[in-house]
Structure 1
Amino acid sequence: MPLQDFMKLVSVDDHAIETADVWTSRVPAKYGDAIPHVEEVEVDTVRLQLNATAHGRVQTWVYAGKTYPSIGLNAVAGKDPRTWDVEPARFDDMRPGCYDPVARLADMDADGVWAQLCFPSFPRFAGTRFLEGEDRALALDCIRAWNDWMLEYWCGVAPDRYIPVCVLPLWDLDACVTELRRAIDLGARCISFPENCSPLGLPSFHTDHWDPVFARAEEAGMPLMMHFGTSGRTPFVSPDAPAPVVVSQMGLNSMSATADLLLSPTFHKFPRLQVALAEGGTGWIPYLLERIDSVWERHRWYSGVDVETRPSTLFARNMWGCFITDQAGIDLRHRIGVDRLLYESDYPHSDSLWPHSRKHLAEALTDVPDDEAHRIAELNACELLRWRPWV
């Protein structure tokens, strides 16, 4: 088997479920009930989904007077798919490893995963929940509180097992730069950032708006981790399509982000900036690079894009593909670039193969030479993140 014992499996996409006290214990009390907190509410049992029916009550997040019932964010690790609901309704419906970093370590060991990078849940993948609400001071304190919780508490439990990630107050560029500097001082190694800012009402990659953030990230060697769906935009499907139609197409977000970035000024202005496409898959990359190069050849002269550097050259220098299960991407690894592939276990979401992640990856890499398997399982992620504390 190509995954030898000395190869540590490093996942660049997992999820931490925040406990009820993340903000109430860290945000100044002056904000009162506007602080994100958990409430128990009675729900008409007719409308309850399977996971909540036994209780007759659900737990919901409340922030700035608005209720957000999706507390669990698909925390379905260890459950029979036939019992899945859209969202678990209570903490006691979840495995403790979803929200407890100590319990998570045992689940990682069972899964054969050494290290995880854990995206936010209630704040959404890049903290974009806090674009909502009118009190920007509260929102900024909420961003800071999540970073403190992740960087000091969660990662502090096992600094050699958890990869430090931060989120930014995207509505305020100066605050972004200030918080990024603070997060770097706290040990952050990467930034969770939207794969498309425009649907959030923010400037696009085709403007110079984000230059101060990208300049600081490039200077610090901090990649942007762009998880699909962070923008809030999903692929267009028929309005009556069942959920699997959307889920099966979510990688299109990453395809769109790739085209957007490669034909924007971003990588020309910041040639050392790195972007990883979390949960976007990889099998589509050779086709898109072939297509985008062809389009660039024909349309570069009138469209205002760079006319000197092929988009595929930028991808090979600045972008990384991430996969959970993607045999097509593994088989096409030399067209993508073996050094451009990153692994994800996606615990505790529905795409996760827990507790068989290492087994499945080993099977997928059966015909891959050891040196390439080592890069895909461990070394690429560590080089991207400048993080390999066990050495």
Structure 2
Amino acid sequence: MEQELPRIVSVDDHVIEPAHLFETWLPAKYRERGPKPLTAGIGELAYVGGKYRITMDPEGPPTDWWIYEDLKFPYKRNIAAVGFDRDEMTLEGITRAEMRPGCWDPAERLKDMDLNHVEASLCFPTFPRFCGQTFAEAHDKEVALACVRAYNDWMVEEWCGDSGGRLVPLCIVPLWDIGLAVAEIRRNAARGVRAVTFSEIPTYLGLPSIHSGYWDPFFAVCQDTGTVVNMHIGSSSQMPAASPDAPPAVQAALSFNNAMASMTDFLFSGVLVRFPRLKLAYSEGQMGWIPYALERADDVWEEHRAWGGVRDLVPEPPSTYYYRQIFCCFFRDKHGVASLDAVGRDNATFETDYPHVDSTFPHTKQVALDHVKDLDDETVYKLMRGNAIRMLGLDLDT
């Protein structure tokens, strides 16, 4: 008899923005200067040193783009991969008409969630990029701020609005202005939003580091409003690359490195000491690396804290703050499950990564069962939904 599995709450999925988003949600006075959808040919795509190289080509395959200031942003098959065979999940361009409709249509997404044993889903942006870098890099910051707010309004009212709480809003902030970022957190928290996306390594984006104190008002408002800070791999616009000419498979295999670097940064920053109720979530980083990272951090704290600059900054072993305040997530990570006592049975959550190449759709239930088959029912519940419900303050089991 097949083991029962609680319905999943996925803490990391993705949305392909519909073509009407900014025409509908951006105030009229900004629309001419805002992002515009376009279907046009695409040239050869390359992924070199952890970054994409993209060209337009009128003779190339039709592709759906966003055109915004001097940015030309195409949708690619590897980010709208569900429905394609594994060997078809390439860097070729794609139109929304070629995608599975659940990529961009909320009603269709709910149907796909039902097919995939998923009750609720938290979705990261695509065109704005994982933490809104697209708008942070824009020249006209007045329009960029309007775009951030328009995206968040669409996310809350249209993408999540009719889902009965099953689509969980995840908002972005204007990263270039701490005061505006704080105000946007408060604006969204007032309408029930409890999740924001942030860069795993802000300095890679040319922003102040978490050690500088610059972000403290942001962390403070997230703590005060119960807003979880979600950091997706790649939210620093740079994936780890061992060599600049390495094939993209190297970056894919090393993707957890950014999460590991970011978590270590936070553990030694004093941020979690100053904000003891702040919750951090690492998205798509997996978790098998966490036991050693914590062991090493605690060892460095014990042996090297005087010269290491953290003697007066971090009063307890760094793992103390991890277990208290940090969530990880996984979708394929048997080593992490085997190390669950060190990873933390109250710290691990689950994801499906729909509709990316890594997505387990439509076989997520089977993949999950294969991972948790030797665990007790209480732990299975925590991993599949309980920890995510607690992390995000959801009403699903009340």
User: Given that residues 72 and 91 in structure 1 are in contact (C-alpha distance below 8 angstroms), is that contact kept between their aligned partners in structure 2?
Assistant: no
Structure 1, 79-88 or 114-123: larger mean CA deviation: 79-88
User: d(CA) in 2 for partners of 1:53 and 1:331?
Assistant: 51
Q: For residues 153 and 342 of structure 1, do their structure 2 counterparts lie closer, same or farther at Cα, with a shift above 3 Å needed? A: same
Mapped pair 1:349 → 2:364: no
Structure 1, 165-174 or 182-191: larger mean CA deviation: 182-191
Q: For residues 87 and 13 of structure 1, do their structure 2 counterparts lie closer, same or farther at Cα, with a shift above 3 Å needed? A: farther
User: d(CA) in 1 for partners of 2:42 and 2:201?
Assistant: 35
Within 5 A, what are the aligned runs for 1:156-167? Answer: 156-167=161-172
Mapped pair 1:328 → 2:327: no
Mapped pair 1:20 → 2:22: no
Letter in 2 for 1:365: V
User: d(CA) in 2 for partners of 1:246 and 1:307?
Assistant: 32
Q: Partner of 1:288 in structure 2?
A: 293
3-state SS, counterpart of residue 239 of structure 1: coil
Mapped pair 1:4 → 2:4: yes
Structure 1, 376-385 or 63-72: larger mean CA deviation: 63-72
Residue from 214, 221, 225 that aligns with 1:220: 225
Cα deviation, 1:246-276, whole Å, max 9, x if unaligned, reads: 1111000100011000000200110110101
Q: CA deviation at 1:308?
A: 2.1
User: Given that residues 61 and 93 in structure 2 are in contact (C-alpha distance below 8 angstroms), is that contact kept between their aligned partners in structure 1?
Assistant: no
Aligned residues: 387
Q: CA deviation at 1:204?
A: 0.7
Q: Partner of 1:98 in structure 2?
A: 103
Letter in 2 for 1:244: A
User: d(CA) in 2 for partners of 1:215 and 1:178?
Assistant: 12
Residue from 321, 330, 334 that aligns with 1:314: 321
Q: CA deviation at 1:186?
A: 2.3
User: d(CA) in 1 for partners of 2:198 and 2:300?
Assistant: 27
Residue from 146, 153, 156 that aligns with 1:151: 156
Q: CA deviation at 1:25?
A: 1.6
Letter in 1 for 2:356: H
Within 5 A, what are the aligned runs for 1:104-115? Answer: 104-115=109-120
3-state SS, counterpart of residue 161 of structure 2: helix
Mapped pair 1:387 → 2:387: no
User: d(CA) in 1 for partners of 2:146 and 2:92?
Assistant: 27
Q: Partner of 1:205 in structure 2?
A: 210
Cα deviation, 1:35-78, whole Å, max 9, x if unaligned, reads: 1111122456999x9xx999843221101243122366610012
Letter in 1 for 2:292: Y
Within 5 A, what are the aligned runs for 1:1-391? Answer: 4=4, 7-43=6-42, 56-70=61-75, 74-305=79-310, 306-389=313-396, 391=398
Q: For residues 143 and 255 of structure 1, do their structure 2 counterparts lie closer, same or farther at Cα, with a shift above 3 Å needed? A: same
3-state SS, counterpart of residue 160 of structure 2: helix
Cα deviation, 1:10-49, whole Å, max 9, x if unaligned, reads: 00000010011111222123335421111122456999x9
Q: What fraction of aligned residue pairs are identical, expressed as a percent?
A: 39
User: d(CA) in 1 for partners of 2:139 and 2:45?
Assistant: 34
Gaps of 5+ in 2: 47-53
Q: For residues 155 and 265 of structure 1, do their structure 2 counterparts lie closer, same or farther at Cα, with a shift above 3 Å needed? A: same
Q: CA deviation at 1:239?
A: 2.1
Q: For residues 45 and 239 of structure 1, do their structure 2 counterparts lie closer, same or farther at Cα, with a shift above 3 Å needed? A: closer
Gaps of 5+ in 1: none
Q: Partner of 2:49 in structure 1?
A: none
Structure 1, 296-305 or 332-341: larger mean CA deviation: 296-305
User: d(CA) in 2 for partners of 1:30 and 1:361?
Assistant: 48
Q: CA deviation at 1:207?
A: 1.3
Cα deviation, 1:161-212, whole Å, max 9, x if unaligned, reads: 1112111001011111111111112221111111111011111110111111
User: d(CA) in 1 for partners of 2:59 and 2:139?
Assistant: 37
User: d(CA) in 2 for partners of 1:357 and 1:46?
Assistant: 30
Q: For residues 261 and 93 of structure 1, do their structure 2 counterparts lie closer, same or farther at Cα, with a shift above 3 Å needed? A: same
User: d(CA) in 2 for partners of 1:216 and 1:370?
Assistant: 36
User: d(CA) in 2 for partners of 1:365 and 1:41?
Assistant: 45
3-state SS, counterpart of residue 157 of structure 1: coil
User: d(CA) in 1 for partners of 2:60 and 2:252?
Assistant: 29
User: Given that residues 2 and 368 in structure 1 are in contact (C-alpha distance below 8 angstroms), is that contact kept between their aligned partners in structure 2?
Assistant: no
Letter in 1 for 2:38: E
Cα deviation, 1:72-127, whole Å, max 9, x if unaligned, reads: 66100121011122254211120000000000111111111111000101000111
User: Given that residues 189 and 385 in structure 1 are in contact (C-alpha distance below 8 angstroms), is that contact kept between their aligned partners in structure 2?
Assistant: yes
User: d(CA) in 1 for partners of 2:9 and 2:359?
Assistant: 14
3-state SS, counterpart of residue 346 of structure 2: helix
3-state SS, counterpart of residue 342 of structure 1: strand
